Amino acid sequence: MLKEFFSNPELFKFFLIVARLSGLVIFAPPFMNPKVSVQLKASLVFFLSVAVFPSVHHVPAVFPELYPEMGLVLAHELLVGFIIGFGVRLMFTTFQLAGEFIDKHIGFAMASLVDPQTDVTVSILGSLLMNLALFVFIDFGGHLWVIKSFAGSFHSIPLLAGNFHMDGILYHISELFFRSIIFAAEFSFPVIATVSLVYIAQGFLQRTIPQFQIFVVGFIFTITVGLSSVKLTLKHFAPASEGIMEFFQERIWFVITHLNHGG
């Protein structure tokens, strides 16, 4: 029955497009938000697949007769969507990680909340910076770029024609992961450096004037200085975050365009 249904090459092509887009929606913010209903996600996948359908090259009307072969076909298309979505997810993780670095230094390490986008516990500033990054991402046109990258992936990696090299995939994903950590450290460095100077000054006062219990009021003072530093840093948040987003967009697109050539 399935073989007869997919004997039509147009239906088979649409099925593969839906499979690739599903991998993107599963992993890419803001589509991966568990608060978004399954019906809305399914509708998004369907209508985007319909929109992309005319621009995708035709595929041969060959439907795998064995379930293992069908599983490989689905895994191939899901992997392409996963790479795009996972790259975007790492980009937002950069800002969340930067916020957690800052929280640990200014005394907010024990304060946490549940992120509504992922249903996991995150720090206060980590959630704040990630949501601000999401607003900048939308204002920057990032959501349109994600859709554009998905549509362009069919020209770089045609349906049923991809020849992936797992070493290249792991290399590029690990590179994005380490760059995410480096960007998070660079982004949080001004606040961490300022708070570290406050800690050094408090230690110096405590050693030189033991009668003065600096650590009694030092905690409140550290938080005040830390939040003031965060406030100053947020003034430059938009241009700094746009630079990080541009880097990730370039690297994700590089991976997509070279994935089928063993890059």
Q: What is the DSSP string of 47-104?
A: HHHHHHGGGSPP--S---SSHHHHHHHHHHHHHHHHHHHHHHHHHHHHHHHHHHHHHH
Residue 68: pLDDT above 70? Answer: no
Instruction: Kindly report the pTM of this predicted structure.
Output: 0.79
**Per-chain mean pLDDT for the chain:** 78
Residue 64: pLDDT above 60? Answer: no
**pLDDT band at 7; cut points 50, 70, 90:** low
Specify the length of the chain in residues.
263
More confident position, 115 or 36: 36
Domain total of the chain: 1
Please tell me what DSSP assigns to residue 260: G
Identify the domain containing residue 61 by its residue range: 2-261
